[in-house]
C-alpha cells in the first residue's frame, strides 16, 4: 500500500508541472504506447514516432483521435526536425525473435537512432531519456545487478546486435552529455510485461500465456531453474516518468524492474494454474548466451526517484491473461486455424 501511495505522489506532482510537448520514439510499441497514453492523461502534447517494423498500429488506435496526439511514421535513425521539450527514446525491437531477424538494422536503430535523438536534443535543448536494457549486463557474474556492474556480454554472439547496440547507445548519451552538455537520463529496463504485447512477441510471459490459452505444450528452455524478475508495464511507465522529471544533473543509469525473483519453471506452473490449462510443460535445449539469472538491484531508483513496483506478479499476470484471451479471440475470428507460438527467449 505504501508503495502505491508513493507512486501516486510521484505522478500527481507531475500533473502540476507546465504542460509539455513530448516526443516518444517507438511510441507505437508495447511500452511506448502505454507511456504515450499516460503522458496524454497528464495533459501533455505527445508526438509518437514509429515505423511499426516490430510493433502494431493497433496499440495506439485508442489515442488516434486525441487532440494532443500526433503520429509520425518514420525510422528513428533519420534526421528529426521538431520542437519538443522532452524526448523518450524507446525505439528498438526488444524481443530476441524480432531483433535477431535483422541484426544490422537492430544495431543501426540503437546507434543511429540514439545519435538522431541526441542531435535533436542538442538543437532544441530538450531533455532526452534513453531506454536502455538489463541485457547490457549479459549473463551476469554479479547478482542482483547494480548499476555499477559492467556486465558479462558476448560481443559477437546472437544477442550482440541488441546488447552491444544498447551499450553503445549509453556511451553515446554520456558522450553527448560530457561534450555538448545535453540533458540526458538513462534507465536500464528489466523484464516488463502486460497488455499490448504481441501474440508472437517471443518473450517468456507472452509465450507461456498464449501456449497455455491454446492448450499447447509450454516450452521451457533448459531445466527451468534459470531465474527472472518481471515488472508490470504500469509500474515501469511510472518509473520512466519519475526518471525523466528527476533533478537536474542526475543522469543515471538507473535500473527499473521488479526485484522479486522467480524460476522459469515456477512461472510456467503458475501460468498453467492461472489459465486452468491442460498444457504440458516440455523442456528443450537452452539457447546460446541465455542468462542464468536476471534481477535488478533497485536501491538507486528507490532513493533518488522514490520509485518501486507495486503490482504483484499475480495481479499483473491476471490482467495480461485477460488481454491475451481477448487477442486470441479476435485473431480466431479472422484466422480460425491460428499459428503456434515458438521462441528461444526467456
C-alpha angle 153-159-162 in degrees, rounded to nearest 5: 95
Residue with the three cell numbers 519519475: 242
Q: At what angle do helices 2-15 and 233-244 cross, to 10 degrees?
A: 50
Q: At what angle do helices 264-274 and 313-334 cross, to 10 degrees?
A: 60
Give CA separation, 32 vs 5, 74, 88, 164, 282, in Å.
24, 15, 9, 22, 33
**Paired residues of 131 in beta bridges:** 187
162 is catalytic: yes
| Residue 128 CB contacts under 8 Å (≥ 6 apart), including other chains | 86, 87, 88, 89, 117, 118, 120, 121, 173, 182, 183, 184, 185
Q: Which three cell numbers stand for residue 58?
A: 493497433
* Catalytic position from the list 88, 99, 137, 162: 162
Residues noted as catalytic: 162
Amino acid at each position: 500500500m505504501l508503495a502505491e501511495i508513493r507512486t501516486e505522489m510521484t505522478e500527481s506532482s507531475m500533473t502540476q508541472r507546465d504542460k509539455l510537448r513530448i516526443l516518444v520514439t517507438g511510441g507505437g510499441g508495447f511500452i511506448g504506447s502505454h507511456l504515450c497514453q499516460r503522458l496524454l492523461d497528464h495533459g501533455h502534447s505527445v508526438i509518437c514516432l514509429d515505423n511499426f517494423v516490430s510493433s502494431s498500429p493497433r496499440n495506439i488506435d485508442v489515442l488516434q483521435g486525441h487532440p494532443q496526439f500526433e503520429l509520425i511514421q518514420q525510422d528513428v535513425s533519420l534526421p528529426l526536425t521538431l520542437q519538443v521539450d522532452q524526448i523518450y527514446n524507446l525505439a528498438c525491437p526488444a524481443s530476441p525473435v524480432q531483433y535477431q531477424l535483422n541484426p544490422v538494422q537492430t544495431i543501426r536503430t540503437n546507434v543511429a537512432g540514439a545519435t538522431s535523438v541526441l542531435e535533436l536534443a542538442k538543437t532544441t535543448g530538450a531533455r532526452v531519456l534513453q531506454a536502455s536494457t538489463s541485457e547490457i549486463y549479459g549473463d551476469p557474474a554479479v547478482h542482483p545487478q547494480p548499476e555499477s556492474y559492467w556486465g558479462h556480454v558476448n560481443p559477437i554472439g546472437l544477442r550482440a546486435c541488441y546488447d552491444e547496440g544498447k551499450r553503445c547507445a549509453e556511451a553515446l548519451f554520456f558522450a553527448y552529455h560530457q561534450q555538448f552538455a545535453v540533458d540526458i537520463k538513462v534507465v536500464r529496463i528489466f523484464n516488463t510485461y502486460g497488455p499490448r504485447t504481441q501474440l508472437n512477441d517471443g518473450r517468456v510471459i507472452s509465450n507461456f500465456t498464449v501456449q497455455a490459452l491454446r492448450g499447447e505444450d509450454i516450452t521451457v528452455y533448459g531445466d527451468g531453474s534459470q531465474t527472472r524478475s518481471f515488472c508490470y508495464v504500469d509500474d515501469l511507465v511510472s518509473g520512466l516518468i519519475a526518471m525523466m522529471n528527476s533533478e537536474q544533473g542526475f543522469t543515471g543509469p538507473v535500473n527499473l524492474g521488479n526485484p522479486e525473483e522467480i524460476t522459469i519453471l515456477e512461472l510456467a506452473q503458475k501460468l498453467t494454474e492461472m489459465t486452468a490449462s491442460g498444457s504440458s510443460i516440455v523442456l528443450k535445449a537452452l539457447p546460446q548466451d541465455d542468462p542464468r539469472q536476471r534481477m535488478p538491484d533497485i536501491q538507486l531508483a528507490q532513493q533518488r526517484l522514490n520509485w518501486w513496483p507495486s503490482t504483484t506478479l499475480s495481479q499483473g499476470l491476471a490482467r495480461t491473461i485477460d488481454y491475451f484471451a481477448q487477442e486470441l479471440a479476435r485473431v480466431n475470428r479472422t484466422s480460425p486455424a491460428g499459428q503456434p507460438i515458438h521462441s528461444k527467449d526467456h
